[in-house]
């Protein structure tokens, strides 16, 4: 109702005519010469092209330094595939663990380079607690350590496995150090 009152007071000012009754106001608003004003306003506005997210072009693939005239293969375009993250495009580990404070299981992808040569922290999605996975830079202690070393010191079991292309996971038992060393000794030394 407030918009009608506003419109009825605004229309006479725009058209320069005395105010009219409600019924004639409806007819008058349908006959307004808006296209004349609208075309002048639209013509004065800078034109910008509206582009939906799915029509934004991808940046060009970086040219290989070896041959610049070689055609781009279909595999390098990845048109139908979603873009892979930096960790997934490099060799990486998929780590699944249960947070001790909140008892929430979570899965994280970490790069192999970060795990073996850097320091890696992962954040629990539930309690937002940060867990040290590896520290080879000495940020959190004086020695180089991984989560495997920490768990072995506490007497906890570390399970290792491989993740297949189909999503299948294969686990294998760790061999104790005594078994591995006895198999490597030659029969001549006995």
The pTM assigned to this predicted structure is 0.44
Strand residue runs (E) in the chain: 92-98, 105-111, 119-123, 130-135, 145-146, 160-163, 169-172
List 122's β-bridge partners, or say none. 131
* pLDDT reading at 58 higher than 70: no
pLDDT of residue 105: 92
Distance of CA 163 to the CA centre of its chain: 21
The whole-number average pLDDT for the span 67-77 is 50
What's the pLDDT band for 179 if we cut at 50, 70, 90? Answer: very low
Nearest to 95 by CA among 71, 123, 67, 57: 123
Is the separation of the CB atoms in 144 and 136 below 8 Å? yes
The whole-number average pLDDT for the span 150-158 is 87
Domain ranges of the chain: 2-43, 86-177
Counting beta carbons within 10 angstroms of the beta carbon of residue 106, is it exposed (0 to 12), middle (13 to 18) or buried (19 or more)?
middle
pLDDT of residue 188: 46
Over the chain, what is the mean pLDDT?
A: 69
pLDDT of residue 93: 86
* pLDDT reading at 59 higher than 80: no
- Residue range 17-34, pLDDT digits in tens: 554 455 555 555 555 555
């Amino acid at each position: 109702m407030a918009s009608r009152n506003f419109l009825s007071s605004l229309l006479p000012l725009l058209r320069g005519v005395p105010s009219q009754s409600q019924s004639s106001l409806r007819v008058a608003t349908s006959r307004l010469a808006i296209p004349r004003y609208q075309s002048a306003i639209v013509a004065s506005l800078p034109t910008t092209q509206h582009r939906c997210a799915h029509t934004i072009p991808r940046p060009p693939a970086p040219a290989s330094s070896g041959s610049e005239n070689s055609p781009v293969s279909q595999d390098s375009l990845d048109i139908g595939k979603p873009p892979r993250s930096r960790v997934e495009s490099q060799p990486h580990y998929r780590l699944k663990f249960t947070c001790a404070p909140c008892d929430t299981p979570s899965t994280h992808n970490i790069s192999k380079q970060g795990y073996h040569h850097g320091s890696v922290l992962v954040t629990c999605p539930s309690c937002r607690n940060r867990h040290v996975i590896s520290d080879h830079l000495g940020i959190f202690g004086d020695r180089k350590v991984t989560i495997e070393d920490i768990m072995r010191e506490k007497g906890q079991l570390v399970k290792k496995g491989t993740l297949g292309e189909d999503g299948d996971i294969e686990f294998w038992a760790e061999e104790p150090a005594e078994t591995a060393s006895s198999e490597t000794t030659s029969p001549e030394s006995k």
